[in-house]
A and B are shown apart, each in its own frame.
Chain A
Amino acid sequence: MGSVLALSSSPGRQNWPFSTDPPPSHWDAHPAHWDSPPRWERRDGRLPNPGSFHSLHRSCKDVFPQQIEGVKMILNKTLSSFFKVSHTLHLSAVSPSYYRFHVEHLQSDDYSKDKDAPALIGEMDSSGSLNAHALLHLTERVRARTVFQTQQSQFVTWQFETEYRGNDFTAAVTVANPDIIRESVILVAHFLQSVSSGLVVGGELVYHRGRAEEGGILTLAGQYSRPNWVATLNAGKGGAHASYYHRANKQIQVGVEFEASTRTQETTTSFGYQMELPEANMVFRGMINSRCIIGGVLEKRLTPLPATLIMGAFVNHRGDKLQVGLGINVG
């Protein structure tokens, strides 16, 4: 796990989804339109652009169910083609309940229509925690991204990323949490190159520096994709992360993931599947873990209402703990 996330992960992350810490926010997750066109699409017989480093494992991770706990009500409202707003109310038994306001200003159509418009995403909590992303297209090939995250009044993350997309390669440099006073910074460099129509290789170099210590971690990455499946491997001194995604048919997708970390000296294997039944307006995601965690989440669209009902439960057999969640998404 050579990513910055591993360095800054809190101890509760091992207990996912049962940790009482707030769930790790996807600060390294790009919005969906950031990675178009899909990787295995060819253009004029030339090698396609490999996409960004963060989304190497995305297709496998999307198969797994999201942690759900308590009752969550999400109200989405699209005010115009640029502006979207959503209100979230979460009543929870294990963590404090909150209200969250989320606003997005971004071109919701194909991004190439208006490249100059920056995408701004902001989220504010009832406890005052802020989450802000700004994505700018500086030129056709260069994109910049800024992320700010606070936990109540304290800044947790502030990072700046620049990405260059060549014809068949992607290079990105990220400066995370630069602190002049404490003389600490984390620098991450990513590089991905399309070697053949299905094969992508690349690497990540993380350099972190604090007042008393500094160090670097190199991770190599490789991904092989076919129309039906994708296999990805990240390996380095910080650990290994391998994932396999398979689309069995229109309805069933399967993902297998293996993670090993040298820092925590632990390995985890997870198996997840996603079953879509569009005639029944239903999506079911299930997963089973080597940590004896079994979970399932059912999403059902309640036509004719513009609402989606989400029900999920996660059982940790080892600790004999159960988490149950209900959610309703309107709009």
Chain B
Amino acid sequence: RYLWRFGLSWACAPTDCNSQGTSADRSLYMGSVLAAASPSPAPAAAGGSQGVQGLASFPPGFTMPPLSSVPPTSGSGQQMADADPPLPNPGTYEECHRKCKEVYPLQMEGVRLVVNKGLSNHFQVSHTVTLSTLGDSGYRFGSTYVGTKQTGPAESFPVMVGDMDNTGSLNTQIIHQLASAVRTKIAIQTQQHKFVNWQCDMEWRGEDFTSAVTLGNPDVLVGSGILVGHYLQSITPALALGGELVYHRRPGEEGAVTSLLGRYTGDNYVATLTLGGAGAHATYYHRANDQLQIGVEFEASTKMQDTTTSLGYQLDVPKANLLFKGTVDSNWVVGATLEKKLLPLPLTLALGAFLNHRKNKFQCGFGVTIG
């Protein structure tokens, strides 16, 4: 039952994959109708981005989208079970660090206008106009289709998400549930006319475990590709252990990277640790009360030979329609984002600023979301 398959950490082969982190990250979170109804703004891919690079950092598009917090089978890993219950399903491998990462603010620069329009229960469309001080300004059109096969209170399949840039870059994902426990996803990413990422993965959810296999950028002609295997098992209702194996192959070179993951969930906190050949990544998420959430993250990378610690917090004041996120970093980066809903208009105003004291660089931006 405990089939530990060890993987090797994988260096991001296409060098420009990080620059495409924009809408691909957004489309990652589209695995359910709930997520599709409120897409988070795409993170600005600034050159000096302080985004934390996980040791097993996947380029965008290589991870399964998070499913809603209520998995289709019995309860989530956070629920406390009674006397002799079956162990709950632990969720997916990528989600383990996600709760802490969601607390951190995204770097904003320039001006962004987003118009979301829901055309029907199944179809939603969004227009984004970005005026950027550092990079390129552009227009992006995105659409989301959610199918009719309903598997849960907030999940329907198939889910098809696509968006297209004014330069012709395309990002698309198709997620479908083949059987009650098997889910599959195909994701394609292009940079103008060139295909950058194409991957297919399949996830199998058992009663108390989740396993997934991903095949990335398979190229039969050249003989290259990446194969990723994940396995996550609930040991107790609070503890989940898992592992990841990444095998990559190029003509003349092949390699594999392993890492192990452990996650402990308490009443109002989640602690996760990932250890592997390429370093360590530890996160701690704490929900202090209804309004305040705190996340602490520690990353050590053997490739870069450095460590980073960051503290982030999120203050949610629903009565004032306000959401404030702040972060302090060991790289001397301080940043904050403020989001305010301007009722009665269906408008959300977002202001953000990041300051890097060491390099003396400052970045600020604001955005308006309609709908």
Closest approach, in angstroms, between the C-beta of A94 and any C-beta of chain B? 9
Q: Beyond A92-B362, A93-B364, A313-B131, is A326–B353 a contact (Cβ under 8 Å)?
A: yes
**B137 touching A71 by the CB < 8 A rule?**
no
Q: Which residue of the partner chain A has the closest CB to B130?
A: A322
Contacts of B355 in A (CB 8 A): 91
A/B interface sample: 22 pairs, CB < 8 A? A71-B364, A91-B353, A91-B355, A91-B362, A91-B364, A93-B133, A93-B362, A93-B363, A97-B360, A97-B362, A313-B131, A315-B131, A322-B110, A322-B111, A322-B131, A322-B132, A322-B137, A324-B109, A324-B110, A324-B366, A326-B364, A326-B366
Q: Would you give the 0/1 interface string for A212-224, flagging 1 where the beta carbon is closer than 8 Å to chain B?
A: 0000000000000
Scan residues 299-328 of chain A and give those whose CB is less than 8 A from a CB of chain B: 311, 313, 315, 320-326
Contacts of A71 in B (CB 8 A): 353, 362, 364
Say whether A70 faces chain B, with CB atoms less than 8 Å apart: yes
Say whether B80 faces chain A, with CB atoms less than 8 Å apart: no
Identify which of B111, B132, B362 contacts A70 (C-beta below 8 A): B362
Closest approach, in angstroms, between the C-beta of B321 and any C-beta of chain A? 14
A315 to B131, CA, bound (A): 9
Q: Which A residues form the contact surface with B (CB < 8 A)?
A: 70-71, 91-93, 97, 311, 313, 315, 320-326
Could you tell me how many residues of chain B have their Cβ less than 8 Å away from some Cβ of chain A?
A: 17
Identify which of A315, A320, A321, A324 contacts B364 (C-beta below 8 A): A324
Closest approach, in angstroms, between the C-beta of A55 and any C-beta of chain B? 34
Q: Which B residues form the contact surface with A (CB < 8 A)?
A: 109-111, 131-133, 137, 351, 353, 355, 360-366
Contacts of A325 in B (CB 8 A): 364
A326 to B353, CA, bound (A): 9
**B353 touching A322 by the CB < 8 A rule?**
no
Contacts of B110 in A (CB 8 A): 322, 324
Closest approach, in angstroms, between the C-beta of A125 and any C-beta of chain B? 17
**A70 touching B364 by the CB < 8 A rule?**
yes
Contacts of A92 in B (CB 8 A): 362
Contacts of A93 in B (CB 8 A): 133, 361-364
**B111 touching A324 by the CB < 8 A rule?**
yes
Q: Which 4 pairs between the two chains have the least Cβ-Cβ distance? A: A93-B362, A322-B133, A91-B362, A322-B131
A325 to B109, CA, bound (A): 10
Contacts of B351 in A (CB 8 A): 311, 326
Contacts of B363 in A (CB 8 A): 93
**B133 touching A324 by the CB < 8 A rule?**
yes
Closest approach, in angstroms, between the C-beta of B197 and any C-beta of chain A? 29
Closest approach, in angstroms, between the C-beta of A189 and any C-beta of chain B? 45
A71 to B355, CA, bound (A): 11
Identify which of B361, B362, B366 contacts A311 (C-beta below 8 A): B366
Contacts of A70 in B (CB 8 A): 362, 364
Contacts of B131 in A (CB 8 A): 313, 315, 322
A73 to B137, CA, bound (A): 28
New A-B contacts (10) at CB < 8 Å, excluding given A91-B362, A93-B361, A322-B131: A71-B353, A71-B362, A71-B364, A93-B364, A97-B360, A311-B366, A313-B111, A324-B110, A324-B365, A326-B351
Q: Which of A97, A313, A321, A323 has the most CB of B within 10 A?
A: A313
A325 to B362, CA, bound (A): 12
Contacts of B109 in A (CB 8 A): 324
Q: Which of A91, A97, A322, A323 has the most CB of B within 10 A?
A: A322
Q: Which residue of the partner chain B has the closest CB to A309?
A: B351
Contacts of A313 in B (CB 8 A): 111, 131
Contacts of B111 in A (CB 8 A): 313, 322, 324
Contacts of A320 in B (CB 8 A): 137
Contacts of B364 in A (CB 8 A): 70-71, 91, 93, 324-326
